[in-house]
Each structure stands twice: as C-alpha cells, then as structure tokens.
Amino acid sequence: MGLPQESLLISNGTLDGPVIRVEQIPGKKGAFLKHVEYEVISQKAQSSRRYNDFVVLHDALLQIFPTRLIPRLPPKKAMGVDEEFLGKRQKALERYMTILGRHPVIGRSGLFQHFLTHSGKDLQTSTKEKFKVEEFFSVNSPEYEHVRPGDWTSHLNEVKDRMINAEMSLQKIREIFEAIYLCSRDQVKNYMALNAELSNLCTTTTSPFVEIVNGIAVARQPYTGILGDVASEIASVTKQWLELANTEDEMFADYLLMMKDLMKGWKDFFARQSKYAADEQRVLEKALNAKKKDGADDIAKTTANAENRIKFSLLCLQQELSFIEGLLGPLVARFLQTLAGNEKRHFGKISNAWQDVEDVSSLLSMSNAMGGVAGLRSEPTAPASPREPHTPLQSPGINGKNPFLEN
C-alpha cells in the first residue's frame, strides 16, 4: 500500500504556521496482530508513532491544558479495521496535529515538542513521567490579574450562543455542499445515459436510420456518423462533469472536515471551561462563607487561589476565541475562494465541451436522415462501408463514498 496523499489544506498552504504531516507507514506485523504506524513529519523531526502514542499525548494535553481548545482524537476501532477506516484516520490525525501545531500555547509546549522529537522507545512512559503540572501553576499572575470576572456566567452563555450559531451555519454549509456534490455525480450519470442512447441510435445493428442497398440494411451516412460524433462530444461533457465531481470530493472534504474538527474541539473546550469555572466558583463561595463565619486567615489563600483560577480560565477563553477565529476565518475564506475558482474553471471546460456538441449537432441539420445532403437523395451504387459501432461510456471512476457523511 502506498503512502496516502497529504492533506490539501497543508500542501496548498491554507493554514499558516509550521507544517506537520502524518503519513501511514505500510503495515507491519507484531507478534500476534498486524499494527499500523504513522510517520509524523515536522520541521524539526521525523518520528514513527503508534495510535496509542497519540492517545497518551491526548490524555496528557487534557491534564495539563484543561482550559485550552484541544481537538478530538480520532477514534480507535477495535474490530473490522479496513483500509478505508485507516485512510480516514490518517487524515483525521493529520488535521488533529495541524490544529495542535498552530495553537500558540500547545504548539510551543514541551509536551507537544516532546511528542514530535522524542526518538526513544519509551515515549509513552517519558510523557507520563515528565508532563504532569497543570498550565495554571506555571503562569505568572500578572498575565491574568487584569481580568475582571464580573458576571462570568453571562459572558460564557453569550460566547456559547455565538458558537452554537456558528456551528449551525457551518453544518448547513456542509449539507448544502453535500447536495452540490451529489448533483455533480447525478449529472455524470445523466450524461452517461444520454451518451449510451445516442450510441444506440447510430450503431449499425440497432440504428433506425438505414437504407436498403442490394437487399442489405446499411446505416445511412453521413447522418449516423455525425450522430456518433455527437455522442463522442457528449462523452467529453461527461468527462468534465466527472472531473468536477471528483475535485469536489477530494478537495472540499478536507476544508469541511477541518471546520467540523474545529467546532467539535470548541464544544469540548467549552464544556470543560464551563465546568472548570463553575467548580472554582463553588470553591470561592464556600471559602467566602467560611471566612465570614469563622474569620479564618488560612481561608484567604484558598479564596485568592480560586479567584485567580477563574481569572485565568477567562483569560484562556479570550485567547481561545482569538485562536479559533485565526484558524476558522482564513479557512472559510480559502474554502470560498477555492470553491469559486474550481467551479469557474470546470464550468468553463463544460461550456467549451457543450460548444463542441453544438457545433457537431449543427451538421445534422445539413444531413437528411432519409436521404442525402439538404434533402437531395443520391443514387447509391454500392453498400457503404459499415461504420465502427460507437462504444458507449463505461461507468467512470466516481468516488463512491460521500466524503461529507464522515463522522
């Protein structure tokens, strides 16, 4: 099995920042079962990783960065793993690493760099042993002391409503584009059918446009010949629609799946963020009530810590909003630019193909199906050489699975 093609998001430079590619290494066999390895290629290193290495990285990220946006790790499939599943997971892992690598905090963190560059066989053990401290404890208070929590619940709810609206719009865009993709596939099927029927009308054995010469039925020329040429031009139209459908499949699925990954990551982040802030708010309220009741000095430290953690979480919320805007904004812009350019280019080719159909079809009006040219019948002297039957189009290589239905 060859290495899969890298994501078009990366090869086209859609997302600014360091390039991180994930390529699937041809299958290796362990002591009992065949396992899959991935080559993680960054500007600093090229390392071989197993899926479980990604799992350990993900768990460590959630432990150290509970108030940061972390994309969902592609799932592990215990049974029924096939090449299609592995191909989708490879691309999903590349999107996962792309998002992490462009995060201004996580991408520069010791944990992430350790995953990229560590060359020993103890990656999982060393990751668990070296990286345990939550980000909050390594950040100086001046970075977040300016944050004023205020009514933090209202602030969180406002952000939540905005992101839910964005998620719904992106989902609708995905559904619309799915319909566009299916329409292109249907057009390929329609023009294949038209080509087949025109081919049937101009073949020697089935054409109704015949004349009897010396007791032999002969397909009438030049009418059937021109009709065969029209069928050939329809085949060119079909080819252009096929190219359009496959381009929509291969190119735009990457964009839409990256947007989907970002929104899933945001939903998970927001759920963690809300729980984090709510937990610290309960600690703060409990400490304040105890202080009012008992006047204990040691409670002041707990109160200050809870306040600082709430401030830090809200600072992270502001930073993550900027991060997702910095990724999502250019992604949507490039998606629309690519969509416009792709449709314009392919519909230009389709228009040219239809022009050829029109030009050839105009010759039919100069040929009389029941006689010679311009309605004048010439006396046949000998049977015309039979025209080679026009071969209808075979089923073309339309990508069979709908890429937009991927979970």
Which residues span the domain enclosing 14?
Answer: 8-138
Instruction: Please report whether residue 13 resides in a domain.
Output: yes
Q: Of 93, 119, 138, which one is at a domain's C-terminal end? A: 138
Task: Name the phi and psi angles at 40, rounded to 5.
Answer: -100, 115
* Residue 78 clears pLDDT 70, i.e. is over it: no
- Lowest pLDDT segment from 65-74, 294-303, 358-367: 294-303
Question: Are 125 and 207 found together in one domain?
Answer: no
34 Cα distance to chain centroid: 28
Question: Are 346 and 197 found together in one domain?
Answer: yes
- Lowest pLDDT segment from 48-52, 192-196, 242-246: 242-246
- The answer to whether the Cα torsion of 93, 98, 103, 106 is positive or negative is positive
Question: Are 129 and 177 found together in one domain?
Answer: no
* Residue 17 clears pLDDT 70, i.e. is over it: no
Percent of the chain exceeding pLDDT 90 equals: 34
The closest of 336, 347, 390 to 187, measured between CA atoms, is: 347
Question: Are 315 and 215 found together in one domain?
Answer: yes
Residue pair 41/112 in contact by the 8 Å Cβ criterion: no
The CA-based angle 188-189-195, given to 5 degrees, is 90
Q: What is the pLDDT of residue 11?
A: 45
Confidence of residue 2 (pLDDT cuts 50, 70, 90): very low
Question: Are 233 and 314 found together in one domain?
Answer: yes
* Residue 84 clears pLDDT 70, i.e. is over it: yes
Contacts of 297 (CB under 8 A, 6+ apart): none
The Cα–Cα gap between 54 and 317 comes to 25
* Residue 73 clears pLDDT 90, i.e. is over it: yes
SS3 186: helix
The Cα–Cα gap between 265 and 73 comes to 9
Question: Are 313 and 176 found together in one domain?
Answer: yes
Residue pair 100/42 in contact by the 8 Å Cβ criterion: no
CATH number at residue 13: 3.30.1520.10
Question: What CA–CA distances, in Å, run from 1 to 86, 88, 149, 279?
Answer: 12, 15, 55, 50
- The tens digit of pLDDT for each residue in 364-384 reads 877 654 444 434 333 443 444
Residue pair 145/252 in contact by the 8 Å Cβ criterion: no
Instruction: Please report whether residue 154 resides in a domain.
Output: no
Give how many domains the chain has, as a whole number.
2
* Residue 314 clears pLDDT 80, i.e. is over it: yes
Q: How many helices (H) and strands (E) does the chain have?
A: 9, 5
Question: Are 32 and 123 found together in one domain?
Answer: yes
Instruction: Please report whether residue 143 resides in a domain.
Output: no
Question: Are 389 and 256 found together in one domain?
Answer: yes
Question: Are 134 and 176 found together in one domain?
Answer: no
Q: What is the pLDDT of residue 383?
A: 40
- The tens digit of pLDDT for each residue in 197-222 reads 998 888 777 778 777 777 776 667 78
Q: What is the pLDDT of residue 1?
A: 32
Instruction: Please report whether residue 107 resides in a domain.
Output: yes
The Cα–Cα gap between 236 and 239 comes to 5
Residue pair 112/42 in contact by the 8 Å Cβ criterion: no
Q: Of 138, 156, 188, which one is at a domain's C-terminal end? A: 138
Residue pair 33/85 in contact by the 8 Å Cβ criterion: no
Packed helices 253-294 and 152-202: angle between N→C axes, nearest 10 degrees: 170
- The tens digit of pLDDT for each residue in 124-176 reads 999 999 999 999 999 888 888 888 776 667 777 788 888 888 888 888 888 88
* Residue 295 clears pLDDT 80, i.e. is over it: no
Question: Are 177 and 123 found together in one domain?
Answer: no
Q: What is the pLDDT of residue 405?
A: 54
Q: What is the pLDDT of residue 301?
A: 78
Instruction: Please report whether residue 285 resides in a domain.
Output: yes
Q: What is the pLDDT of residue 226?
A: 87
Q: What is the pLDDT of residue 318?
A: 87
Residue with the larger pLDDT of the pair 86 and 151: 86
Instruction: Please report whether residue 157 resides in a domain.
Output: no
Rounded to an integer, the average pLDDT of 179-185 is 89
Buried b (16+ CB within 10 A) or exposed e, 154-175: eebeebbeebeebbeebeebbe
Tokens representing residue 200 in the block: 């049937």
Residue with the larger pLDDT of the pair 224 and 377: 224
* Residue 387 clears pLDDT 70, i.e. is over it: no
Q: What is the pLDDT of residue 105?
A: 95
The Cα–Cα gap between 276 and 165 comes to 23
320 Cα distance to chain centroid: 22
The Cα–Cα gap between 24 and 91 comes to 9
Residue with the larger pLDDT of the pair 282 and 399: 282
Rounded to an integer, the average pLDDT of 28-47 is 77
Percent of the chain exceeding pLDDT 70 equals: 78
Question: What CA–CA distances, in Å, run from 262 to 106, 175, 248, 307, 323?
Answer: 15, 17, 21, 29, 10
Q: What is the mean pLDDT of the chain?
A: 80
* Residue 349 clears pLDDT 90, i.e. is over it: yes
The CA-based angle 341-347-350, given to 5 degrees, is 145
Question: Are 48 and 176 found together in one domain?
Answer: no
Q: Of 98, 123, 138, which one is at a domain's C-terminal end? A: 138
Question: Are 269 and 378 found together in one domain?
Answer: yes
* Residue 348 clears pLDDT 50, i.e. is over it: yes
Q: In the chain, what is the greatest distance between 2 CA atoms, to the nearest angstrom? A: 121
Residue pair 43/19 in contact by the 8 Å Cβ criterion: yes
CATH number at residue 291: 1.20.1270.60
Instruction: Please report whether residue 164 resides in a domain.
Output: no
* Residue 96 clears pLDDT 90, i.e. is over it: yes
Instruction: Please report whether residue 37 resides in a domain.
Output: yes
* Residue 407 clears pLDDT 70, i.e. is over it: no
Confidence of residue 19 (pLDDT cuts 50, 70, 90): confident
Tokens representing residue 368 in the block: 């009389």
DSSP string, 88-114: HHHHHHHHHHHHHHH-TTGGGSHHHHH
